[in-house]
């Protein structure tokens, strides 16, 4: 399965679904993660952010726009805005969808994969801090923490660390 220039082999998963698939009728006003993978013991909600993707066909204007997105991504990574406005709502809405479809019967891991091929090396300490801030936000968005923890843990991975966490799901960059 492909997402933003990254090709995944999810054949080892029990079931995989592309939640945010274009053309698929979904509830309005909700944001979804890219994929949900079902394994024997857990569900993985996978969100992919790939500022390293390249413009198809070498389109100069598109490549300039992508470079601007890369610069913005690096600038936003240390902040909580992206966590609060994009990542947490996608996790919560995806969980709500799974819950309402009675598919939340296993522990859920939220995984953010950052395509990092065209980025300067991301500091592991920055990614660890980002992961901690994301998990904290997933567990408490308002004055009080959620009573029901809908995400058991989260991971923030790059293309280089993906194979360490998920060797059963090979990843290849296609453009």
For residues 119 and 69, the answer to whether their CB atoms sit within 8 Å is no
pLDDT tens, position by position, 95-148: 999 999 999 999 999 999 988 765 566 677 778 888 999 999 999 999 999 999
CA–CA separation, 71 vs 59, rounded Å? 18
pTM: 0.88
Nearest to 8 by CA among 100, 124, 115: 115
Strands of the chain, DSSP E: 2-3, 6-8, 15-18, 35-38, 43-49, 108-114, 153-158, 171-173
Render 52-102 in DSSP notation, one character per residue: T---GGG-HHHHHHHHHHHHHHHHHTTSSHHIIIIIHHHHHHHHHHHHHTT
Predicted pLDDT of residue 4? 72
Domain-wise residue ranges, the chain:
2-173
Average pLDDT rounded to a whole number, residues 8-26? 90
């Amino acid at each position: 399965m492909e997402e933003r220039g990254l090709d995944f082999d999810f054949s080892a998963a029990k079931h995989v679904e592309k939640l945010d698939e274009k053309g698929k009728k979904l509830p309005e006003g909700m944001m979804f993660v890219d994929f949900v993978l079902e394994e024997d013991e857990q569900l993985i909600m996978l969100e992919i952010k790939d500022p390293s993707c390249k413009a198809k066909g070498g389109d100069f204007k598109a490549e300039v726009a992508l470079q601007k997105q890369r610069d913005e991504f690096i600038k936003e990574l240390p902040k909580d805005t992206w966590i609060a406005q994009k990542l947490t709502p996608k996790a919560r809405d995806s969980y709500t969808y799974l819950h309402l479809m009675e598919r939340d019967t296993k522990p859920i891991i939220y995984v953010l994969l950052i395509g990092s091929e065209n980025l300067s090396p991301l500091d592991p300490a920055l990614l660890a801090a980002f992961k901690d801030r994301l998990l904290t936000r997933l567990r408490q968005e308002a004055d009080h923490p959620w009573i029901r923890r809908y995400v058991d843990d989260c991971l923030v991975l790059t293309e280089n660390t993906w194979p360490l966490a998920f060797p059963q799901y090979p990843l290849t960059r296609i453009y």
